[in-house]
Amino acid sequence: MNKKEENTLRKFAEPIGLAVDHNNGVIYGVYQGYHLYLIRANNNSYSFTVNFSLNKAGELPQQDEVKQVVKESKDIIDCVIQGYQVTYTLRGAMTVSKTVDKLEPSLQTITAFLQKMGYQDACALCGKSDSTVALYTVSGAPAILCDDCFKKQQEAVNIQNREQGNVKENVLSGTVGAFLGSLIGAGAIILLGQFGYVAAISGIVMAICAIKGYELLGKKMTTKGILISSVIMLVMVYIGNRIDWSISVANYYTDVDLFYAFRILPDLIREGYLEASQYYGNLAMVYLFTAIGAIPTIIAAVRDGKQTQESYKMS
């Protein structure tokens, strides 16, 4: 989460005595005796979901009952339950300050209602209400858990991470994958080129297919994988573009076949039968768009490979 976003979230959290977790961007804390956390419903609005974990005399909460509070306020839109977890959706306002003004009354309405109905703060997994119930982050996601359940979750996550960490990169399969992907990319360059479209899309297709191809068959993306995919992309963009032009040449001169056209293409350019600036301009465009497609795809692939999301107590 960036600083600006964190500062915005603080404007919501601090007036009601809650905190912001700067890893996952969750507003969390204890309000009227209930552990809760708030998540932005979507990034474009100031609408939040507020999450509780509750039991009533040790029993699971009932949807019909916890939902009744939705009628008490027009700012509480919805209520969904999943096991012990109860999630309300709050209506946001157009601005930060107007939303801040609405937040506390909504939380007061909900917590007063829950108290009146006899709901207790509880662990979201086992439903136990004891002093160890606290707010945790498990693999990057917030959760209200008791001490025991958190430890169990953490152990499960550790096993999973260890298994993922053990996956070995298979360079040969990855190279085959990148090559197969690049064939799709080259096909796009030729096909779109023949239809007279701008090379933009085909460059991006080339990048995504080659890198995804490596990742898919190689099982993992490393620096080596990036280098191999990049070399394959460089070569295949060149070949795809040259085939595209050769097809046009073969179509134009009826006595020239595709293979011959491909072979003599550099001579045709040198002797001025083809406009060099057009040929190389087009090639440069495909390279440019391959790079534009490759950079975010590589970043995403490397990030996915490294991601070991943390688990910790939020405080």
**53/13 Cα distance (integer angstroms):** 19
Tokens representing 51?
């999450």
Binding residue for Zn ion (CB under 5 A) from 126, 157, 250, 302? 126
Of 17, 32, 38, which is closest to residue 119 (Cα–Cα)? 32
C-beta separation of 37 from 26 below 8 A: yes
126 vs 269 by CB, closer to Zn ion: 126
146 makes contact with Zn ion (CB under 5 A): yes
Please return the burial class of 250, using the count of CB atoms within 10 Å of its CB with bins 0-12, 13-18 and 19+. Answer: middle
114 vs 146 by CB, closer to Zn ion: 146
Binding residue for Zn ion (CB under 5 A) from 69, 110, 125, 143? 125
36 makes contact with Zn ion (CB under 5 A): no
Binding residue for Zn ion (CB under 5 A) from 69, 103, 123, 188? 123
User: Minimum Å distance from CB 124 to Zn ion?
Assistant: 7
Residue 106 CB coordination number (10 Å): 21
User: Minimum Å distance from CB 29 to Zn ion?
Assistant: 20
Q: Give the SS3 label for residue 91.
A: coil
User: Minimum Å distance from CB 133 to Zn ion?
Assistant: 8
153 makes contact with Zn ion (CB under 5 A): no
Q: What share of the chain is helix, strand, coil (3-state, %, to 5)?
A: 55, 15, 25
153 vs 222 by CB, closer to Zn ion: 153
* Site of tokens 């506390």: 104
Region of 19-27, 56-64, 149-157, 212-220 interacting with Zn ion (CB under 5 A): 149-157
Interacting residues with Zn ion (CB under 5 A)? 123, 125-126, 146, 149
